[in-house]
Amino acid sequence: MGDTLIVAYTEKDSCGIFIPDRKSPEKAPLELISGWPKNHAEGSHRYPAGPYNFASAPSGSGLFASLSCSRNAMVIELSAPGSKAVSGLRGATDTTTTTDKPGSLYAVIASRPVREDIISTLRRKASR
């Protein structure tokens, strides 16, 4: 999103995102980490390929991020003032916006069929 760098990663049995403040490097980065649900009964089933655990936090620069994490996918929602176009995507990632949350961007990281299912779910929920 514009000047925002987002690094998404997995580590052992968790996933996370790291978002440094590129305008003020002395500020602490926004970092979210969420463990994978331990079994099918734990976590949420808000997206396909779940269950998901969830983490969210605001940054000091007006950015808000949430992370939904499963063994099969990551869904990142970002809201930032003055959001701009996305560039520099790498890996198994797609982005989308929805009509119900202007100014929010979703990044979906998963295999292509799972990404397509999750994006369809996001758009379907937004149209209700």
Task: Encode pLDDT of 89-120 as tens digits.
Answer: 788 888 888 878 878 889 999 999 999 999 99
pTM above 0.85, yes or no: yes
Residues 6+ apart with CB under 8 A from 63: 4, 19, 30, 78, 79, 80
The domain locations on the chain are 7-126
> Mind listing the pLDDT tens digit for each residue in 74-94?
999 988 766 566 777 788 888
Calculate Rg over the CA atoms of the chain.
14
pLDDT of residue 26: 72
Beta strands at 7-11 and 104-109: parallel, antiparallel or unpaired: unpaired
Whole-number mean pLDDT of the chain?
86
Tell whether the model's pLDDT for residue 1 goes beyond 60: no
